[in-house]
Structure 1
Amino acid sequence: MPKATASKTSATPDLPEPDNYESALQELEGLVARIESGQLPLGDMLAAYQRGAVLLAFCRGKLEAVQDQIKVLDEGQLKPWTSEE
């Protein structure tokens, strides 16, 4: 049974962290398209899903950081976005 615990805690293969939000989003969109195509072998699909989860967490972290900065700029209040036309 210790082997099962060890395999759960082992990290996925080390892939480089995205340079920025835009590159992470682009890679994530590509992975989603490949997964949705249904043409990936099961092992590749699992790896793509795992990488997608990492990219999603990265993107969410970046968005939350920006949102926190906006709150600071708006004196602690998150104001709704209004587009001026």
Structure 2
Amino acid sequence: MTDIAEMSFEAALDELEKIVAQLEGGKAPLQESIAIYERGEALKRHCEALLKQAEARIEKITLAKDGTPTGVEPLDQ
């Protein structure tokens, strides 16, 4: 099983979607369902952390009145 901390966002999201489908299918034994649910929670937290990191890196380009770039600022401003 791949270490979650080493997974890309896309790989973690793909595995999380598979876990959701497996749990919704309801065919896994209780102990296995609990284990895959816990992995799903860890994958969800990992995806959220990666998204938060990406959001922190996004910047908005600021423009002068004539349309020329003047710099950047955080996207949230």
Fold match, TM over 0.5? yes
Which consecutive residues of structure 1, in runs of 5 or more, have no partner in the other structure?
A: 1-13, 80-85
Task: Tell me the percent identity.
Answer: 33
Which consecutive residues of structure 2, in runs of 5 or more, have no partner in the other structure?
A: 61-72
More strand by share: 2
Aligned residues: 64
RMSD value over aligned CA atoms? 1.8
In 1, Cα distance between equivalents of 2:12 and 2:50: 10
Quick check: which has more Rg, 1 or 2? 2
In 1, Cα distance between equivalents of 2:75 and 2:15: 33
1:49 aligns with 2:37: yes
Q: Match for residue 16 of structure 1?
A: 3
Give the 4+ runs in structure 1 shifted more than 6 A.
Answer: none
Name the TM-score, length of structure 1 as normaliser. 0.68
